[in-house]
């Protein structure tokens, strides 16, 4: 009897093992499987994920087996590996041979691999399948490359397959010039989104996505996206990117996200799933910005009598005489420039982490110290209150990009810390007149801490009153910046994009109604090209110094699609024809400025000029800004 019982128990145990090995492994099973003794079993176990009627099945080593809905979709033709990684001239695969561990995670599954590179690399590949905030079903893939103790001394290229069938000719593209494009009939088509590395392709993408109009899974759109922090090359079958040996693996864990979003709808739906996935942790800009129909910059302008700084008050009085409706005034943004002591310091003391308590001097346009303008936080409150009490919105100049200027007495410049400086050169007008400025290195921890502390100090002092902060000249870090002259190789563009995001979060933490605005100046036309990543994706919009030129506007449509794109126009009188065109064609606000350029403050404008600007304003105020209307409709 005892022998029979032993035999029965043994048979049950064998059956249980066979069931575990051969009957499948569901993503809801939270038990990790690892160890050399289980390696063969791991490689045989399929993984299934389901969400909203969709099913993803993965086979040995994480390779895709099928992607279906209701039995329709892709059930063969996938690559025999999950991804390919080229190190030097050798290709390594994420597959059953390199698999080390297989484990369920929330909404999906993680595969961990060890590649026999030199040094050896550990790579995590995470699959998720879920419904996003907008109702789209999203298959996500996150690849994490762990930085080894020894340096990676050769280029590292990752190639991630997308779908078993090539993207069709009518796959839609968000082109950098603000228009809609299609792949067309080129067999070797590539589309490039440039941020950290410079890549050439048939199509230059404004944001990292493409959209297939009718996918085989459910007949609806399939929008393919990556995160925005790193360059991506899209082909008909895959997405790839390279970590060049010049920098290698900068983060302890280099992470990229790839999403396949299945959804209905046109351009608005495509952009919404982009915001819900790669940009899920970046909030949209403030709703009030879409109603803005007039913007202005004041660079401590003089009044009609010549009194320095009086222009702010005189212009507000004159504008209020012409615009009496407070609802209309709420659609006007008045920006204060030049309020600080000098570029690079901004009246901020990092030791106390606060703005200067006493008065400070601001030297304008190279004037001597005796001709400096006296400013203080009390005077700043007076200026802000003067505009706010009359119903206007007020923006404050945050900084001139990453510019510092030791010749201005910048006590933060320390020649013993060259890693803090990205390069020498920059804006040499107004408060850096004929001096030797430099650009801080956004990859440096000290630099990041300075700007974050400065933002907190500004918001602590003025955050309950102002409506926006403007970070001017965010275009200093062009595509392909690898640390500059700092001597510390880094993906400077990515670090700067992350800093923009952190600064916006600091602002919102104090007052979510305050907008943090970038100034990317992206453009490519006959006489000027500015190859700049879309840092505005991490901000609440853009207020750039592009002189109001019409050529710049379309390049900002996609990066600012849900937000706003404004331009300063110091020479508005000379270039009134540009304003007429941008207000009419691109839903731009009416612009006037004072204290620089034409010194065209409202109190100084001719009756004819004011009449024209007022007519444009009263027409422009009737509708909110919607860039989707300007880009066009999808077929």
Question: Are residue 185 and residue 301 in the same domain, yes or no?
Answer: no
Does 564 fall in a domain? yes
pLDDT band per the 50, 70, 90 thresholds, residue 46: confident
Which domain-ending residue is among 244, 276, 308? 276
Q: What count of other Cβ atoms lies within 10 Å of the Cβ of residue 27?
A: 21
* pLDDT, tens digit (0-9, with 9 covering 90-100), for 304-361: 988 889 999 999 999 999 999 999 999 999 999 989 988 888 999 999 999 998 898 8
Please say if the pLDDT value at position 36 is more than 60: no
Residue 444 and residue 360 in one domain: yes
Q: What is the pLDDT of residue 405?
A: 81
Q: What is the pLDDT of residue 633?
A: 54
Considering the domain boundaries, does residue 392 fall inside one?
yes
| 236 pLDDT higher than 60 | yes
User: Are residue 347 and residue 425 in the same domain, yes or no?
Assistant: yes
Least confident of 203-212, 368-377, 556-565: 368-377
What are the residues whose beta carbons fall under 8 Å from the beta carbon of 190, sequence distance 6 or more? Answer: 199, 201, 202, 203, 233, 234, 235
Residues 266 and 306 grouped into a single domain = no
pLDDT of residue 7: 45
* CATH assignment of the domain containing 238: 2.70.98
pLDDT at site 13: 44
**1 within some domain:** no
Number of domains observed in the structure of the chain: 2
The most confident of the ranges 20-34, 421-435, 516-530 is 516-530
User: What pLDDT band is residue 363 in, cutting at 50, 70 and 90?
Assistant: low
Q: Which long-range contacts (CB under 8 A, 24 or more apart) does 85-91 make?
A: 85/115, 85/121, 85/123, 85/156, 85/157, 85/158, 85/159, 86/155, 86/156, 86/157, 86/159, 87/115, 87/117, 87/121, 87/152, 87/154, 87/155, 87/156, 88/154, 88/155, 90/117
> Do 266 and 397 have their domain in common?
no
**Structure letter (DSSP) for residue 546:** S
Instruction: Please check whether residue 443 is in contact with residue 492, taking contact to mean a CB–CB distance below 8 angstroms.
Output: yes
Query: Of 276, 307, 322, which residue sits at a domain end?
Result: 276
| Mean of pLDDT values over 364-376 | 63
Tell me, what's the pLDDT at 408? Answer: 61
**Domain check: are 447 and 533 in the same one?**
yes
**pLDDT of res. 9:** 43
DSSP H helices in 253-390: 267-276, 311-322, 326-329, 377-388
Q: Which of 395-409, 504-518, 572-586 has the lowest mean pLDDT?
A: 395-409
pLDDT band at 415 (very low <50, low <70, confident <90, very high): confident
**Arithmetic mean of pLDDT, 421-449:** 83
Residue 127, domain member (yes or no): yes
**pLDDT of 189 higher than 70:** yes
DSSP string, 219-284: SSEEEEEE-SSS-EEEESSEEEEEE-TTT---SSEEEEEEEEEEE--SHHHHHHHHHHTTTTTSPP
Residues 88 and 215 in one domain: yes
Q: Do residue 33 and residue 63 come from a single domain?
A: yes
Average pLDDT estimate for 423-431:
75
Give the residue-averaged pLDDT of 412-425. Answer: 87
Same domain, 211 and 301: no
Average pLDDT along the chain: 89
Regarding whether 271 and 395 lie in a shared domain, the answer is no
Structural domain contains residue 619 = yes
| pLDDT at site 374 | 86
Which of 182, 210, 315 lies closest to 602, judged by CA?
Answer: 315
pLDDT band at 370 (very low <50, low <70, confident <90, very high): low
Q: In Å, what is the CA distance from 613 to each residue of 51, 331, 579, 618?
A: 54, 14, 9, 9
Residue 13 lies in a domain: no
Do 255 and 380 lie in one domain? The reply is: no
CA–CA distance, 363 with 371 (Å, rounded to integer):
7
Which residues form the domain of 510?
287-631
Among 113-117, 200-204, 277-281, 390-394, the minimum mean pLDDT is found in 200-204
Is the pLDDT at 572 greater than 80? The verdict is yes
- Could you tell me how many residues make up the chain? 635
d(CA 432, CA 251): 35
Looking at residue 12, what is its pLDDT?
41
In a domain, residue 3? The reply is no
Domain boundary among 276, 295, 321: 276
User: What residue ranges in 16-107 does DSSP mark as E strands?
Assistant: 25-26, 33-34, 47-51, 54-58, 64-69, 72-74, 83-87, 90-94, 99-105
* CATH number reported for the structural domain that contains residue 593 in this entry: 3.20.20.80
Show Cβ contacts of residue 103 under 8 Å, excluding neighbours closer than 6 positions.
32, 33, 34, 109, 110, 112
Question: Which residue, 362, 377, 328, 335, is CA-closest to 601?
Answer: 335
Average pLDDT of the residues in 449-464: 98
Tell me the percentage of the chain whose pLDDT exceeds 70: 89
Say whether both 93 and 157 belong to one domain. Answer: yes
What is the rounded average pLDDT of the residues 464-479? 96
């Amino acid at each position: 009897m005892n022998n029979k019982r032993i035999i029965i128990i043994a048979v049950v145990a064998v059956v249980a093992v066979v069931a575990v090995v051969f009957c499948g492994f569901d993503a809801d099973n939270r038990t990790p499987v690892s160890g050399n003794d289980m390696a063969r079993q791991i490689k045989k176990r399929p993984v299934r994920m389901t969400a909203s009627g969709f099913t993803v099945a993965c086979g040995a080593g994480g390779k895709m087996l099928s992607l279906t809905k209701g039995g329709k979709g892709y059930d063969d033709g996938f690559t025999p590996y999950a991804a390919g990684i080229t190190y030097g001239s050798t290709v390594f695969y994420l597959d059953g041979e390199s698999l080390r561990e297989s484990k369920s995670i929330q909404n999906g599954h993680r595969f961990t691999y060890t590649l026999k590179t030199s040094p050896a690399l550990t790579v995590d590949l995470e699959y998720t399948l879920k419904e996003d905030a907008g109702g789209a079903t999203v298959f996500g893939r996150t690849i994490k490359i762990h930085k080894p103790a020894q340096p990676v001394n050769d280029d590292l290229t990752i190639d991630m397959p997308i779908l078993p069938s090539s993207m069709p000719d009518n796959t839609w593209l968000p082109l950098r010039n603000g228009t809609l494009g299609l792949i067309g009939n080129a067999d070797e088509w590539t589309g490039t989104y440039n941020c950290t590395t410079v890549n050439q392709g048939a199509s230059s993408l404004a944001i990292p996505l493409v959209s297939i109009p009718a996918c085989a899974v459910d007949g609806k759109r399939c929008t393919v996206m990556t995160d925005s922090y790193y360059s991506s090359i899209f082909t008909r079958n895959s997405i790839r990117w390279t970590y060049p040996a010049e920098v290698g693996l900068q983060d302890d864990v280099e992470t990229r996200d790839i999403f396949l979003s299945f959804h209905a709808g046109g351009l608005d739906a495509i952009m919404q799933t982009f915001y819900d996935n790669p940009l899920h942790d970046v909030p949209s800009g403030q709703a009030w910005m879409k109603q803005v129909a007039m913007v202005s910059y004041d660079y401590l302008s003089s009044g009609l009598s010549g009194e320095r700084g009086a222009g702010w008050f005189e212009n507000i009085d004159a504008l209020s005489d012409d615009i009496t409706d407070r609802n209309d005034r709420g659609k006007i943004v008045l920006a204060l420039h030049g309020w600080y002591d000098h570029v690079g310091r901004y009246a901020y003391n990092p030791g106390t982490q606060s703005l200067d308590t006493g008065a400070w001097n601001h030297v304008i346009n190279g004037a001597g110290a005796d001709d400096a303008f006296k400013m203080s936080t009390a005077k700043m409150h007076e200026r802000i209150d003067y505009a706010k009490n009359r119903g206007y919105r007020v923006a404050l100049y945050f900084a001139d990009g990453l510019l510092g200027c030791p010749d201005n007495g910048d006590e933060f410049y320390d020649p013993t810390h060259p890693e803090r400086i990205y390069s020498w050169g920059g804006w040499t007008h107004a408060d850096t007149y004929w001096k030797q400025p430099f650009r801080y290195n956004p990859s440096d921890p000290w630099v990041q801490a300075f700007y974050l502390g400065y933002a907190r100090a500004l918001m602590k002092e003025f955050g309950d009153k102002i409506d926006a902060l403007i970070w001017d000249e965010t275009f200093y870090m062009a595509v392909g910046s690898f640390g500059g002259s700092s001597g510390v190789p880094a993906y400077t563009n990515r670090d700067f994009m992350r800093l923009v995001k952190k600064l916006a979060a600091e602002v919102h933490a104090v007052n979510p109604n305050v907008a943090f605005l970038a100034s990317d100046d992206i453009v490519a036309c006959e006489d000027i090209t500015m190859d700049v990543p879309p840092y505005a994706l991490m901000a609440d919009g853009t207020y750039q110094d592009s002189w109001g030129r019409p050529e710049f506007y379309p390049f900002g449509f996609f990066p600012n699609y849900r937000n706003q794109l404004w331009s300063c126009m110091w020479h508005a009188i000379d270039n009134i024809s540009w304003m007429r065109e941008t207000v009419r064609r691109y839903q731009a606000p009416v612009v006037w400025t004072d204290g620089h350029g034409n010194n065209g403050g409202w109190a100084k404008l001719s009756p004819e000029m004011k009449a024209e600007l007022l007519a444009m304003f009263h027409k422009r105020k009737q509708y909110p800004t919607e860039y989707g209307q300007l880009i066009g409709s999808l077929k």
